């Protein structure tokens, strides 16, 4: 049997204890004492997660079974006493995090990211490695199979067996799903694609034909946008469905997604539901990352130790541009018509215009400080920070409009993306800070120096009224028509006062404030996040609808008595209603605007 430099074996005997058993064999360890480490974070998600907290019973032995000393040298690293032969490390990983970022194991399925399971062998991170997924009594009895795009060496019909990776960073970029998931298979541009669905779903009620058709269109639109050579020879969407989760994480040729089972399309649905459209956007988003971030990437993201945060100003590009395209791709793939797309775009834009924090933080800073700000948002986030996803997508839109307008449609953001794919993605050249800005000006021929200075490092709003004008699209802001108003078109003529706060109905029929907007009614009255409103003008307010009905009868400047609990203390304040703020975006296409317009033509 050939001896691989580093070999991992993963087994599970009793899923009900949520433990993956891992064995790591290091063929030629450091003779001065081998160090190993477990990642503190997972690429694509910028938060120190300290995966080592789930690592249990770490032991080391020599090839002939002699126990070796192993002791921690930091919260995520260990040192093993010097040993002249191969070293074998045994440990278990507690897997009870049902998210796309960690590992999860129970009687129904197993899922893991390599960052949760595989110790990095210091000094040998570049070494070729092998992973053996071992079938157990449990997996055999329950007919479990494996879904991963980790390249296989020799596997059985269910996918158990030996896999390989070029190096450590490769190894951690192929999550593994195991269980009795459903599989949909399709081809996009001749490339085999699969979607596995884990979780309880009445699969016979799912409109599989529609799902496959829509996914095929999206994938083919993206493949043709970047054009050949394609970055993949297979692709896997690993979907977990639950009651109400949402999220995704991009990988080299797969993505792990989590969504609500109601977001899937069902045979009885007359049209695509909002949840389904959001799911398609999520798929389009992660697929777009195949190019933008997995291959075209900041230099700072190449080969990270995963033991320290990495910093870049460029997430506005990697997440913002990707967010801009995920919605637009549904239009370009023929899933949304132009008016629906414009409305979706207005809703996306509203997510920025609703946040006064956009005047306090630039997107460049938001990107650089994502570890402590964006990924650790508190109740004051709307007033304090800007999202590099949403503001980044507005910068993408502004760039696209400017380049298209100033080159008379000869060039667009697509041109820049294709250039980046050819020059940086295909050559695995990392992008230095500031390099993308220079490339945008150079490739488009439009001097964007000042635009970037203002958009990336400033906090002023972008002048969309002016940018949309050449395209016969009118940009405007209006006040919210009701509490649930997300922006875009509305049929309501009314703009009643609101409290300037996000509210939740509690189980005991009161309203709790989750976020309070600065300088609006609730904040001016001294209400804070966590406060529980009991009564307004001495009447109990049980629901959001009841609050809305009440507020509709009052005008700006009117005063209302408010009783509320802060923790367990009953308090009283006077609400003085502030005028509704115009923070919802509405985009209106001129009736003469044709589909062949300069803007985002369908090929």
Binding residues for Zn ion, rule CB under 5 A, total: 1
In the bound complex, what is the minimum distance in angstroms from residue 276's beta carbon to Zn ion? 19
Q: Residue 240 or 404: which CB sits closer to Zn ion? A: 240
Give the nearer residue to Zn ion in terms of CB position, either 35 or 319: 319
Using left for φ > 0, alpha for ψ between -120 and 50, and beta otherwise, residue 436 falls in alpha
Nearer Cβ to Zn ion, position 255 or 498?
255
**Judged by CB, which is closer to Zn ion: 284, or 345?**
284
- The answer to whether 156 touches 235, Cβ cutoff 8 Å, is no
How many other C-beta atoms are found inside a 10 Å radius of the C-beta of residue 493?
Answer: 6
Site for Zn ion in 317-346 (CB under 5 A): 319
Q: How far is the CB of 66 from Zn ion (least distance, A)?
A: 47
CB burial string 229-250: b at 16+ within 10 A, e below: ebbbeebbbbbbbeeebeebbb
> CB of residue 251 vs Zn ion: minimum separation in angstroms?
12
User: Which among 139-147, 154-162, 314-322, 436-444 is the span making contact with Zn ion, rule CB under 5 A?
Assistant: 314-322
Nearest residue to 349 (alpha-carbon basis) of 454, 253, 476, 218 = 476
- How far apart are CB 169 and Zn ion at their closest, in Å? 19
**Cβ distance to Zn ion smaller for residue 288 or 451:** 288
Interface segment toward Zn ion; rule CB under 5 A; list 81-89, 295-303, 312-320, 550-558: 312-320
Neighbour-count burial for 305-322, b at 16+ CB within 10 Å, e otherwise = ebbebbbbbbbbbbbbbb
| CB atoms closer than 10 angstroms to residue 339 | 14
**Cα–Cα distances in angstroms (integers) from residue 334 to residues 237, 284, 328, 602, in the given order:** 21, 13, 10, 8
Q: Shortest Cβ distance from residue 289 to Zn ion (Å)? A: 6
- What one-character-per-residue DSSP string does 8-62 give? EEEE-S-GGGTEEEEEEEESS--TT-EEEE--SSBTTB-S---GGGGEEEEEEEE
For residues 21 and 367, which CB has a smaller minimum distance to Zn ion in the complex?
367
**Nearest approach, Cβ of residue 285 and Zn ion (Å):** 5
Residue 19 forms beta bridges with which residues?
A: 94
Least distance to Zn ion from the beta carbon of 356, Å?
25
34 or 45: whose CB is closer to Zn ion? 45
Residues 439-458 that bind Zn ion (CB under 5 A): none
Asked if 112 and 103 count as a contact pair (C-beta separation under 8 A), the reply is yes
Please, which residues have CB within 8 angstroms of residue 491's CB and are 6 or more apart in sequence?
none
To Zn ion, the closest distance from the beta carbon of 102 in angstroms equals 18
For Zn ion, the closer CB: 328 or 578: 328
DSSP 3-state of 192: strand
Q: Which is nearer to Zn ion, 22 or 315 (CB)?
A: 315
Least Cβ distance, residue 281 to Zn ion (angstroms): 11
| Distance in angstroms (rounded) separating the CA atoms of residues 65 and 83 | 12
Q: 541, 444, 447, 450: which is closest to 501 by C-alpha?
A: 541
Burial pattern 268-298, b for ≥16 Cβ within 10 A else e, equals eeeebeebbbbbbbbbbbbbbbbbbbbbbbb
As measured in angstroms, the least distance from the Cβ of 387 to Zn ion is: 12
Residue placing its CB nearer to Zn ion in the complex, 319 or 485 = 319
List contacts with Zn ion (CB under 5 A). Answer: 319
């Amino acid at each position: 049997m050939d001896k691989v430099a580093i070999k991992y074996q993963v087994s599970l005997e009793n899923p009900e204890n949520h433990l993956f058993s891992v064995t790591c064999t290091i063929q030629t360890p450091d003779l001065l004492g081998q160090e190993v480490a477990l990642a503190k974070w997972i690429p694509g998600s910028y938060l120190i997660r300290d995966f080592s907290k789930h690592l249990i019973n770490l032991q080391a032995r020599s090839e002939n079974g002699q126990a070796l000393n192993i002791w921690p040298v930091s919260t995520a690293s260990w040192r093993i006493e010097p040993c002249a032969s191969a070293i074998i490390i045994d440990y278990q990983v507690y897997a009870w995090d049902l998210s796309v970022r960690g590992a999860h194991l129970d009687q129904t399925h197993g899922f893991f990211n390599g960052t949760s399971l595989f110790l990095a062998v210091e000094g040998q991170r570049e070494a070729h490695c092998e992973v053996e997924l071992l079938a157990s009594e449990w997996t055999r009895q329950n007919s479990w199979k494996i879904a991963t795009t980790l390249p296989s060496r020799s596997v059985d019909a269910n996918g158990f067996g030996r896999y390989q990776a070029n190096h450590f960073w490769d190894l951690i970029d192929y999550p593994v799903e195991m269980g009795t998931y459903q599989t949909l298979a399709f081809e996009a541009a001749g490339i085999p694609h699969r979607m596995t669905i884990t979780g309880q779903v009445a699969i016979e009620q799912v409109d599989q034909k529609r799902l496959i058709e829509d996914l095929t269109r999206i994938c083919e639109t993206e493949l043709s946008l970047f054009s050949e050579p394609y970055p993949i020879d297979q692709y896997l969407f690993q979907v977990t469905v639950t009651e109400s989760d949402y999220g995704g994480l991009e990988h080299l040729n797969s993505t792990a997604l989590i969504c609500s089972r109601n977001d899937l399309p069902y045979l009885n649905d007359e049209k695509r539901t909002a949840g389904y459209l959001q799911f398609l956007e999520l798929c389009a988003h992660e697929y777009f990352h195949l190019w933008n971030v997995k291959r075209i990437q900041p230099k700072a993201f190449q080969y990270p130790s995963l033991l320290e945060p990495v910093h870049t100003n460029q997430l506005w590009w990697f997440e913002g541009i990707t967010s801009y395209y995920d919605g637009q791709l549904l239009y370009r793939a023929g899933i949304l018509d132009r008016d629906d797309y414009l409305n979706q775009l207005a809703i996306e834009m509203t997510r920025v215009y609703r946040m006064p924090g956009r005047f306090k933080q630039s997107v460049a800073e938001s990107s650089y400080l994502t570890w402590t700000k964006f990924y650790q948002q508190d109740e004051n986030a709307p007033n304090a920070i800007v999202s590099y996803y949403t503001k980044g997508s507005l910068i993408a839109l502004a760039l696209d409009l400017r380049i298209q307008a100033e080159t008379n449609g000869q060039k667009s953001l697509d041109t820049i993306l294709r250039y980046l794919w050819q020059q940086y993605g295909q050559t695995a050249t990392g992008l230095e800070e500031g390099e993308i800005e220079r490339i945008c000006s150079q490739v488009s021929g439009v001097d964007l120096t000042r635009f970037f200075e203002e958009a990336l490092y400033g906090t002023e709003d972008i002048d969309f009224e002016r940018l949309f004008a050449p395209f016969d699209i009118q940009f405007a802001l209006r006040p919210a028509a009701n509490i649930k108003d997300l922006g875009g078109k509305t049929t309501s003529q009314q703009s009643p006062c609101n409290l300037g706060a996000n509210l939740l109905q509690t189980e005991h029929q009161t309203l709790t404030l989750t976020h309070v907007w600065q300088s609006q009614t609730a904040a001016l009255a001294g209400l804070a996040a966590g406060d529980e409103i009991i009564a307004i003008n001495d009447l109990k307010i049980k629901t959001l609808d009841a609050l809305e009905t009440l507020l509709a009868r009052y005008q700006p400047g009117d005063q209302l008595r408010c009783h509320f609990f802060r923790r367990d203390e009953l308090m009283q304040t006077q609400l003085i209603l502030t005028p509704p703020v115009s923070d919802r975006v509405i985009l209106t296409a001129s009736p003469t605007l044709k589909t062949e317009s300069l803007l985002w033509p369908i090929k």
